[in-house]
Amino acid sequence: MFKLKITSFLLKRLEGIQQELTGCLFGVFYDSTITVFGMNVETTIGKLNYNEISLKFPAEMDLIGLVKFGDCFDEQNIGEILKDCEITDNPILLHCNLGSIIGMKSSIFVHGKLESIPFEVMEPTDIYNEFCFSRVCCNFNIYTEETIDSIKSNIQTLRKDIAANGALAFKLNKTSFFLTGTISENNKKYSKNAEYIENLITIVDQAKGGGEPKNKKNKATPPSDYEVLEISVLKNISTDYTNPDNDQVTFPALATCIRKSDVNSKIPLNVDAMAILYKKTKVSGLYDILIESVCRALRLVEQSLIEQLYDNMEISIPITYHFSPPAFGHFLSCVYLQNISDNEQAMQQKRKKLHHHFGLPITKPYFRRQNRVMFKCDIKYDSPLMNTHLGVKPSGVKDGKQYLVQGNYYYYHYMQQNVNDNGWGCAYRSLQTLCSWFNLQGYTSTPVPTHEDIQRYLVNIEDKPKTFINSKQWIGSTEVSMCLNGFLNVNSKIMHVSSGGDLSSKGSELALHFETQGTPIMIGGGVLAHTIIGIDFNSEKGDLKFLILDPHYTESEDLNVIQGKGWCGWKSTDFWDKKSYYNLCMPQRPIVY
């Protein structure tokens, strides 16, 4: 008998379902253990086939069972769904009460009968220790008539060629590690040092030395604790690529063209494929997993092309984006059309279906392009540091509870973007940090405004005279709230505090803000402005500390200095001037999906 594990992320999602319905469970099966990661729920709104939904999950994360909430259960479809649980002969059934996992029953189908099975809860630390992901990027071209049958046939042929002939090779980015479909000398060489996938992570870490510019030390990254193996796809054109002495072995970028004729259109297929990897898997099994991930990604792209033809649209290039909503604990892939913006009706309906199918509220954006996962290779070195509070020293508040900014932001401070704003630009920089949060969370695609953009806007709304443009004049919390509304259509609450000493009594209000809104706060008082990105609060004793981003920092993007010298760190209530009044600009999330 095997073990059953359920991630704590999924259990929390199960707890949030308040209506009677059924759904499908998705997970992985390794070492006689089924680990349940994800689910989708069947609703009457934009019902999608679970087979189509499954393509959005990473390769190796497959249909493994069913979940029912309350007494609702579609027994007519149970046999059809369970026969598609290909990775296990013993599908799982979870039976949950509405709005609670207390009393949840977990069962397993054995020879067509249900048997009770206990489950273990898998906490995030254990998940990240046991699993990682691969990301494969490549491009194909197909030449095809723009008909449903022709596109299906051509992409099916392409998938068969990829899966069958072993002509592809995979290169682990930033290393000299190649993986081919045959037992080559190269594979033998690395099998000595890389028997398991976890060894590949070590190889990548060892190859990173000196990869970043000297002035960009310890760049903070988005809050994903998964290691992601970035992999390129290459095509072997050598007649004998297993010969390590052959100097002519080359692996050019892959482009496959099939069935070319005068009546065919050239359609580029941009493949961005992910797979979940159990770290104890042998590297010898990785090739087949990567091939499967590419084929699954091609099927997702094909799905998008077929949808366009059903809707009588002109063929547009499909682009794959990866998302990781905080509640998921795994990645999910979506394909959007290059020439359709997120604000168009068709895209809104597409996202609305996704929210319903994954049991997510339609009050926050999760699947806009701006919400896509930013992998380390996607972050530009000339951008500000992201999420500089990650890894900061503890606050020291005894028995306190932390309430932190929810999501990603960039740390803007003096002297960036070749602007010498030392002594006057702190509130501008705090505003830029706030704008970056809304941009990175997908609420807007509007770029972060420059100092001149901010000044010009305030002049245009007649808040400032024309002489304000290109000046070194300060702005405060009121101007910040005006700009948020003007640039992003975001409303803000303004909290007035008569003195810095009174901020010690605002713990409950600030906790509520970070719990419900989760946005960074701009605070201005006297001649200084700062950004509050969290608090640590003991509500019984009233002890309170503030997690501060200080925009007055003037040096290079060195996280060690920024955290070590307190430019990003916890501050006590004594940090605020007791002789100055303060205004806090507290941005409110719009209702957007």
Active site residue ranges: 426, 550, 552
Q: Using CA of residue 431, residue 436, residue 441, residue 445, what is the dihedral sign?
A: positive
Contact between 302 and 152 under an 8 Å Cβ cutoff? The reply is yes
User: How many whole angstroms separate alpha carbon 40 and alpha carbon 63?
Assistant: 10
Strand residue runs (E) in 85-177: 92-97, 100-110, 113-116, 120-122, 131-144, 168-172
3-state DSSP call for residue 144?
strand
- Nearest alpha carbon to residue 315 among 143, 139, 162: 143
DSSP β-bridge partners for residue 270: 139
User: How many whole angstroms separate alpha carbon 476 and alpha carbon 457?
Assistant: 15
Run of H or E residues at 149: helix 148-164
Contact between 316 and 337 under an 8 Å Cβ cutoff? The reply is yes
Please provide residue 280's backbone torsions phi and psi, each rounded to the nearest 5 degrees. -90, 5
Using the structure block, give the residue that is written with the tokens 């806090």. 584
Residue type present at position 499: S
Contacts of 426 (CB under 8 A, 6+ apart): 414, 528, 529, 530, 551, 552
Contact between 176 and 186 under an 8 Å Cβ cutoff? The reply is no
Contacts of 9 (CB under 8 A, 6+ apart): 37, 124, 327, 328, 329, 330
User: How many whole angstroms separate alpha carbon 370 and alpha carbon 438?
Assistant: 9
Residue type present at position 454: I
CA quadruple 485, 490, 491, 495: dihedral, nearest 10: -100
Count the Cβ atoms, other than its own, within 10 Å of residue 161. Answer: 13
DSSP β-bridge partners for residue 537: 401, 544
Please provide residue 3's backbone torsions phi and psi, each rounded to the nearest 5 degrees. -95, 155
Give the HSE-up count for residue 100: Cα atoms under 13 Å, Cβ half-sphere: 3
DSSP, residue by residue, 20-76: -EEEEEEEEEETTEEEEEEEEE--SSS---HHHHHTTSPBT-EEEEEEEETT---HH
Run of H or E residues at 582: strand 582-587
Cβ burial of 452 (10 Å; 0-12, 13-18, 19+) is: exposed
3-state DSSP call for residue 367?
coil
